[in-house]
Amino acid sequence: MQRRYEQLMRKCLSLAKKSEGYVSPNPLVGAIIFDDDFRIISQGRHEVCGRNHAERNAILNAKEDLKGKSLIVNLEPCSHYGKTPPCADLIIENGIKKVIIGMVDPNPIVSGKGIKKLKQAGIEVITGVLEKECTELNEIFIKNQLYSKPFVTIKTATTADGKIATKEGNSKWITDEISRREVHKLRNKYDAVLTSSDTVMKDNPQMTCRLKGGRNPVRIVLDTNLKTDPKSKIYNKDGTRVIIITSEIVSREKTKNYPSDVEILRCPEKDGHIDIKKAIELIYQQGIRSILVEAGARLNNAVIQTKSADKLIQFIAPKILSDKEAISFSQGCSRREIADCNNLIFISTKQLKNDIMIIGKFVD
């Protein structure tokens, strides 16, 4: 029985994943309704923020009576009125007899209450099916709910010896087209992409998602002194929200050089640069719940050293630069002991066409 539940839960997770980039700040959720023979009757997912939850879509998509059927979902059904009515109530109303849940909702408004309501209605509830996988899928939502902070991932592309560019700043192209496509998938997933004035001036990047049907993330530039060219590609008017975070002491006259639709936010400085922790707090206040950092050595280092990063995604190309003056993906600290390293737990390694994609989570 457990194995069959796990098979169905994996289908829920696959369903939920299809909505990446479209449900923030809500979680990714998929739901499946099945009978005693494990025949799938209906399925649904939360498709867009503000619209039906997964359980409601699964119930609405059903073509037969649901009395006595079972429902499996990767996240606890909600029990409160938000933008949509409670899913727990709808499950009860339709006579569903059993609900299998991947993980308890971390949202304190919901946490445990949906399960309690289902049990009080006489519904059998099973929890913790593929809980680890369910937690990983909604790591962004969990961080938001527990800490009221955005989930921050650093993305970097390096040679095998950890370099992102030559000493002259040349970096195109370290990785191949398959790796670059993976980066566009990440941009589609995250609410915002964050970069530095140095990167804008050196590379003049667009920071857009160039996948068919993809969604551009909010583009954010940390520019302490407003030294980037207002005509840089990242400021192109394409309907995407663009934000510059600059120093509190920059003159208002200087801000007038930038396109009128570019939002300019002010942030305190620390050691002559934007205070990273304050900047990330400011970004969260803008309704942005996840950040993909695509930057150079200095900003990457600042994000790591302030313990602002949750995850590292590193694309490693089968190339060795062998230049002591070449630029590493994170630079700026002087360490005497290996014990002083910032530590990661590697959670996955994937072979792409020529490159390797390694994903690690930062640990204290």
List residues with catalytic annotation: 55
Instruction: Give dist(CA 364, CA 294) in Å, integer.
Output: 22
Q: Is 227 helix (H, G, I), strand (E, B) or coil?
A: coil
The pair of structure tokens assigned to 165 is 């560019």
The two counts, helices (H) then strands (E), for the chain are 11, 18
DSSP notation for 194-216: EEEHHHHHHH-------STT--P
The pair of structure tokens assigned to 137 is 């899928």
Residue whose C-alpha is closest to residue 73's, from 137, 29, 110, 40: 29
Q: Which residues pair with 362 in a beta bridge?
A: 344
Q: Taking a C-beta distance cutoff of 8 angstroms, is the pair 94, 123 a contact?
A: no
